[in-house]
């Protein structure tokens, strides 16, 4: 990408230097992601280093936090609300950390049940609560507790009795194995959706690996964005004597 001149450039120069099109640069200025550009006597936009830095910061922030949060953060920076901008950025990092912790739990859980045919769902697996409790070697009160805590919620017969579909039996088997491995109920709530979206064990491991790659890419993008944001905030902060 071409480097923008140290002090001034036209729309096309900023676009080339940041990897955007000229129209995208104008749109980012309109949305407040870039500060308002100066104008020549002929009405042409004149951009400066702050515009290029803003465009580069937005590119990295959008990759790490999504375009909506990226715009909110840069608008706060340009409004001089640096504390708010940093608070928003901290929230993005916190959310990404939570995602990473949940992913690590899911990966560890997949390893914990790797020797069990947990993802198999057979039509013959439908059971009553008594049948499922006997199959798992658990009291029915444990299954009722899992129901009350929204871990495994069975269907109900017309008489109100609990009846577990094959998929619900699978969920109960997953919960049972992971409880034996030491997983607590809040952790189970985080990892169970991974299995419910997978048709096969291979699908689950592929999905977890893809999520790991995506989270890492977002983390790296946020590192790049932090450098660009630091330059923007320093530029906007008056020096003290």
Structure tokens at 221: 């993008």
The pTM assigned to this predicted structure is 0.64
pLDDT score recorded for residue 222: 93
Tell whether the model's pLDDT for residue 122 goes beyond 90. no
Return the residue matching tokens 């697996």.
125
pLDDT score recorded for residue 160: 92
pLDDT digits (tens, 9 = 90+) for 167-225: 888 888 888 877 877 788 888 887 777 766 665 566 667 767 888 899 999 999 999 99
Query: Quick one: how far is CA 196 from the chain centroid?
Result: 19
Tell whether the model's pLDDT for residue 8 goes beyond 60. no
CA distance 84 to 94: 15
Tell whether the model's pLDDT for residue 40 goes beyond 50. yes
pLDDT score recorded for residue 239: 47
pLDDT score recorded for residue 197: 66
Greater confidence, 240 or 113?
Answer: 113
Local confidence band at 71 (pLDDT 50, 70, 90 cut-offs): very high
CA distance 151 to 161: 18
């Amino acid at each position: 990408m071409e480097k923008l001149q140290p002090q001034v450039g036209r729309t096309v120069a900023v676009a080339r230097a940041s990897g955007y099109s000229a129209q995208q640069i104008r749109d980012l200025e309109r949305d407040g992601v870039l500060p308002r550009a100066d104008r020549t006597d002929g009405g042409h936009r004149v951009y400066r280093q702050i515009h290029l830095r803003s465009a580069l910061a937005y590119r990295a922030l959008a990759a790490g936090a999504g375009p909506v949060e990226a715009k909110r953060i840069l608008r706060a920076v340009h409004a001089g609300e640096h504390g708010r901008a940093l608070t928003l950025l901290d929230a993005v990092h916190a959310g990404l950390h939570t995602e990473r912790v949940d992913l690590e739990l899911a990966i560890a859980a997949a390893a914990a049940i790797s020797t069990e045919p947990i993802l198999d769902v057979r039509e013959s697996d439908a059971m009553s609560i008594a049948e499922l409790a006997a199959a798992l070697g658990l009291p029915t009160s444990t299954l009722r507790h899992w129901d009350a805590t929204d871990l495994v919620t069975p269907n109900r017969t017309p008489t109100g009795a609990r009846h577990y579909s094959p998929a619900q039996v699978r969920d109960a088997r997953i919960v049972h194995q992971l409880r034996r491995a030491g997983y607590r109920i809040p952790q189970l709530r985080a990892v169970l959706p991974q299995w419910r979206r997978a048709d096969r064990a291979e699908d689950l491991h592929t999905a977890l690996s893809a999520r790991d790659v995506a989270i890492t890419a977002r983390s790296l993008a946020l590192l790049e964005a932090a450098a660009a944001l630091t330059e923007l905030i320093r530029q906007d902060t008056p020096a003290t004597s």
